[in-house]
Amino acid sequence: MLDRLFPTSAENRAISFQSIWGAGDSYAVTTNSGTIVTQENALKIATVYACVRLISDSVSTLPVGVFRRLNGERVPVFPRPIWLDFPESGMTRTDHFQEVLVSMLLDGNAFIRVIRDDSGVVGLTVLNPLRVDVSRDASRRIIYTLRDTQGAAIMADEMIHISEMRLPGELRGRSRVDLVKETLGLAKALEEFAARFFGQGSTTTGIIEFPGNLTREQAKNLVDGFEEGHKGLRKAHRPGILAGGATFTKTGVDPDAAQMIESRRLSIEEIARVFRVPPSMLSVTTPGAMSYASVEQNGIHFVTHTLRPYIVKLEDAYTRLLPEGVFMKFNVDGLLRGDSTTRAATYSSGLQAGYLSINDVRRLEDFSAVEGGDVFRVPLANVDLSAANLNETEAKVSMAQKLILSGFDPASVLSAMGLPPIDHTGVPSTQLQPLVTLDPADPSSAYKV
């Protein structure tokens, strides 16, 4: 009983989790399914591993920029802080953010030690969350204590603490592995059952009935002899022979009858729901229910509802390390980028509506800018913004022309239409006098009486 509550054997100690931050232990309790689930061995569950890798890889590989607001516009800041690209010696930005995401996904907390010198921030180290305690001192300030440093306290300005979900009044975030341990335990039990089923053979569960009485040694020899010919994957389908009137009565349930495959599928969907990952991204689809459009929408849903909360938390936390007015931002445009037809339709709408220029579109497609491509256009006439009033002016001129031809005073018409006064030659309209009768040297002579 104590061995099940406090596992110490090598089989019960996972190394993948400790290998990320170093050695660490946590309290483990057996679930109702008979399995032990901890933050360390949760990664051994295939679906958990897939979800953690998908989220951490997606966020850690996104481009990151540093910007400041200048006159309402976002302007890149150069040079970039060195710690953003090389947070720690021998570690890249991608590796750093991957550790942060793995810590948040499994423990619900990420603790990043900030190392400073006279020049500012020189390093960021992701700590093992199982070794960090959070509390308040007598002044109600938050302090962090590392268990392997004899209680040395770290002040809040020397630590970046990002939590996934906190209950009211708590300083640490809650681990989803601990909160949904029964769900993960069931998934682990199903995996172990499937592995043992195929490893021990498909006809292992049953009773050998023998007429008469057998001694303990005879019974053991009968069972050992039967298992020797049938136990194991390579011997699962060999025919069996029982002599002396013995019969084999099957008592186990086939995986199909036990709905093991359906149960494992449901278990995968449950874990995907816990991590808010669309099942299609885990290669789990319902026959006839998925289409290209729905998969594309799942991708957008993944960025909006799965990645965005982590991205915003990271941006808010790391912006603290930058000067006032400067902020860090991840670029998710690459994840939201559609197919060429969809992008072309979007760009066309932006060009016609006047909020995108040709060079804006070319930059989004990683093309070089062209001369004159920074001019914005407006709808309908699709002219430059500086000439957007040409349609209105043309309508006013047409109306003024009709009024003047109807006998109204030209100066009064121009004033009423809001048009500037224009000098007139005094020559009547060509509608009144053909041009062939005019003397180019004295055009007004044609109208002299």
Q: What is the mean pLDDT of each run of 10 residues along the chain (449 residues)?
A: 44 46 55 86 91 95 91 85 91 95 96 92 93 91 85 87 92 93 87 70 59 74 68 55 64 55 82 90 64 68 92 96 93 73 81 85 79 78 61 81 81 84 68 60 65
Asked whether residue 59 falls in the same domain as residue 175, the answer is: yes
30 close to 189: Cβ distance less than 8 angstroms: no
What kind and span of H or E run contains 121?
strand 120-126
Asked whether residue 34 falls in the same domain as residue 182, the answer is: yes
Task: Give me the amino acid identity at 358.
Answer: I
Asked whether residue 27 falls in the same domain as residue 154, the answer is: yes
What is the structure's pLDDT at 8? 45
What is the structure's pLDDT at 102? 96
What is the structure's pLDDT at 429? 63
Residue 404 Rama label (left phi>0; alpha psi -120 to 50; beta)? alpha
- Give the residue numbers spanning the domain of 245: 203-253
Pick from 340, 325, 191, 317: which is nearest to 255 by CA?
Answer: 191
What is the structure's pLDDT at 288? 47
Asked whether residue 77 falls in the same domain as residue 181, the answer is: yes
Residue 111 CA to chain centroid, in angstroms?
21
SS3 38: coil
Asked whether residue 28 falls in the same domain as residue 172, the answer is: yes
Asked whether residue 328 falls in the same domain as residue 439, the answer is: no
SS3 297: helix
90-99: Cβ within 8 A, 24+ apart: 93/60, 93/64, 94/60, 94/61, 95/60, 96/60, 96/124, 96/126, 97/56, 97/59, 97/60, 97/314, 98/56, 98/57, 98/60, 99/20, 99/21, 99/126
Asked whether residue 274 falls in the same domain as residue 141, the answer is: yes
Per the structure, the count of domains in the chain is 4
- Per-residue b or e along 66-93, where b marks 16 or more CB atoms closer than 10 Å to that residue's CB: bbeeeeeeeeebeeebebbeebbeebeb
Asked whether residue 96 falls in the same domain as residue 224, the answer is: no
Asked whether residue 331 falls in the same domain as residue 344, the answer is: no
Asked whether residue 229 falls in the same domain as residue 87, the answer is: no
What is the structure's pLDDT at 15? 39
pTM: 0.66
Asked whether residue 278 falls in the same domain as residue 138, the answer is: yes
Asked whether residue 235 falls in the same domain as residue 246, the answer is: yes
